[in-house]
Amino acid sequence: MSESPDLVSPVETDLSGFDLVNKPMLNKGTAFTDVERDTFHLHGLLPPHVGTLEEQVERRWKVLCAFATDFERYAFLRDLQDTNETLFYAVLARDLEQTLPLVYTPTVGEGCQRFSEIWRKPRGVFISYPNKHRIREILADARFDRVRIIVVSDGERILGLGDQGAGGMGISIGKLALYTACAGIHPDETLPVLLDVGTNNQERLNDPLYVGWRHERIRGDEYDAFIEEFVTAVTERWPDVLLHWEDFAGSNAARLLARYRDRLCTFNDDIQGTAAIAASTLLAAVNVTGVPLTEQRIAVLGAGSAGCGIASLLLQAMIDAGASEADARSRFFLVDRYGLLVEGMADITPAQQPFLKRPADVEGWQLQKPGTVGLFDVATNARPTVLIGVSGQGGAFTEPVVRAMAEAVERPVIFPLSNPTSRSEATPEQLMTWTGGRALIGTGSPFPPLQWNGRAAKVNQTNNSYIFPGIGLGVLAAGARRITDAMFMVAGKKVAELSPTVTDKEGQLLPPVTELRSVAIAVAQVVARQAQADGVADPCDAATLDTRIAARVWEPKYRPYRKVG
């Protein structure tokens, strides 16, 4: 795999004039030097002032802060990314804590809903079902020669907002922005892809501005054949690519991962990344509560791909910590739309199967509504120590549920992970109020600091951005051919090791967002070593591996240009 070029070495290009300033990865705007303006025929295209990247960042920051809404800021940053990519990432780096919620959750949700309103310039590739015979032609463009990481979505389950059709491209673009901002993956090595197989969102289909294919979603054998054609074309074009699946519906997410995970280097972030960061945050909470992982009782609301992924990784973590498999399984309570998963229920998926309760397990439970075991019943009868929400249902953690849980637990651990913010199962303020300030909270979307007992406390954002950027960096540096479950396990444990709670029980559960770059590098190191241990990457010594990781970390700085051709 290629390594990122030295920042001080010149960029060679045969472009000049209008073509040069209109290439986002090469445009410097007013920072082109006088010599470069002579060489590349830029006089007249640019104002006479020769500025610096730092000045440009301050100018863009002033404009960014002047907007009235986060969606306006999102649209502004998307335009900036399509105009001057180096400046875009320099602006993000100025204050990651403020900018990440603008380019990803929660604002990216509205960005996907309103994608057709703000689409202006091509970024990535739209592969629509009518163009299924052109997939290889589309991917063959020489602009994509350096691609090493692809984020692909079919737009069917965007965050907790459901089917957004072609607007799902916003999620692929946003995820890849985090690969670069958090782990330094070079922008030219990333490719967002939207597989447009139609949409069942009538609001999108009725919208005259909608840019996607106006057709109901393709299903069944036709859908599977289309995905197969795409994956085959990708592996032919880039044999060593990392393919990241994002926001596929639960009915497709797990089975596509199972089908392809042994054919190429691939993972599903909704299943594996979410599981890893949930494990990180829970392990950090253990530092505070003192209750070992093997003694936790875990209720998960939402037994789709994300909920089952979380439960599966935590189950393995319990077993690794010394619990028997039977005892570990007994400590999980997965609740879906029809209640607690119990043997005999219809439409049980393979991922849910390991977590089914026997009817005897709930015999004798006092139920709110006879015949249905809801989340409140789990809270009052199972007495969970941990409550995790990936339901996409805003307000699903009701006051009675939370109070019932808190009655039996000294420090209840509660993670409302659904996003965007409107889909969060509860707000941090509600959870603190209902537990008398005793809850340890992690949220999927960012929330403002929580005011409690006269002081402000930051809310832990249990976000996959702590995990997947480092996974990508480690995979590329090690040259990993596959991604194993163990690689996500070590990633999750490494983030937990970096938790402030290791040395301070009053500290945040997760490292500050401002440290995401160093977190990604630490995750990359353990992931790369695990890839070697699992036999999916060629061995080399630790020093060489660390050097490869460092060499791949791109910084948003302008480099000198040299004319060729």
**pLDDT tens per residue across span 14-69:** 999 999 999 999 999 999 999 999 999 999 999 999 999 999 999 999 999 999 99
For the segment 276-330, what is each residue's pLDDT rounded down to a tens digit? Answer: 999 999 999 999 999 999 999 999 999 999 999 999 999 999 999 999 999 999 9
Residue 9's pLDDT is: 86
Q: How confident is the model at residue 2 (pLDDT cuts 50, 70, 90)?
A: very low
Degrees (nearest 5) of the Cα angle 299, 300, 306?
A: 155
Residue 1's pLDDT is: 39
Instruction: Report the share of the chain in percent with pLDDT over 90.
Output: 94
Confirm whether 52-248 and 291-462 share one CATH topology. Answer: yes
* Domain edges within the chain: 52-248, 291-462, 466-552
Give φ, ψ of 246 to 5 degrees: -140, 130
Domain 52-248 has CATH 3.40.50.10380: yes
- Feature table: binding site: 157, 246-247, 270, 419, 463
- Feature table: binding site for (S)-malate: 157, 419, 463
Section 237-265 average pLDDT:
96
Q: How confident is the model at residue 452 (pLDDT cuts 50, 70, 90)?
A: confident
Continuous H helices in 461-533: 468-478, 485-497, 516-533
Section 88-103 average pLDDT:
96
- Feature table: binding site for a divalent metal cation: 246-247, 270
Which residue among 175, 179, 260, 357 is the active-site one?
A: 175
- pLDDT tops 70 at residue 86: yes
For the segment 165-174, what is each residue's pLDDT rounded down to a tens digit? Answer: 999 999 999 9
- pLDDT tops 60 at residue 3: no
For the segment 151-167, what is each residue's pLDDT rounded down to a tens digit? Answer: 999 999 999 899 999 99
Section 228-245 average pLDDT:
98
Section 330-345 average pLDDT:
96
CA distances from 138 to 126, 144, 165, 228, 295 (A): 9, 10, 20, 16, 52
CA distances from 234 to 114, 148, 240 (A): 29, 11, 10
Question: 416 by DSSP, 3-state: which?
Answer: strand
Domain spanning 291-462 has what CATH number? 3.40.50.720
Residue 32 tokens, joined = 């082109």
Q: Is 104 a catalytic residue?
A: yes
User: What span, in angstroms and rounded, lies between the C-alpha atoms of 341 and 343?
Assistant: 7
Section 330-338 average pLDDT:
96
User: What span, in angstroms and rounded, lies between the C-alpha atoms of 215 and 217?
Assistant: 6
Question: 335 by DSSP, 3-state: which?
Answer: strand
- pLDDT tops 90 at residue 565: no
- pLDDT tops 80 at residue 496: yes
More confident residue, 455 or 131: 131
Which residue among 28, 74, 89, 104 is the active-site one?
A: 104
Q: What 8-state DSSP symbol labels residue 372? A: B
Q: Is 175 a catalytic residue?
A: yes
Q: In the sheet where 265-268 sits, what is the strand order?
A: 125-128, 190-196, 149-153, 242-245, 265-268
Count of CB atoms situated within 10 Å of the CB of 196: 24
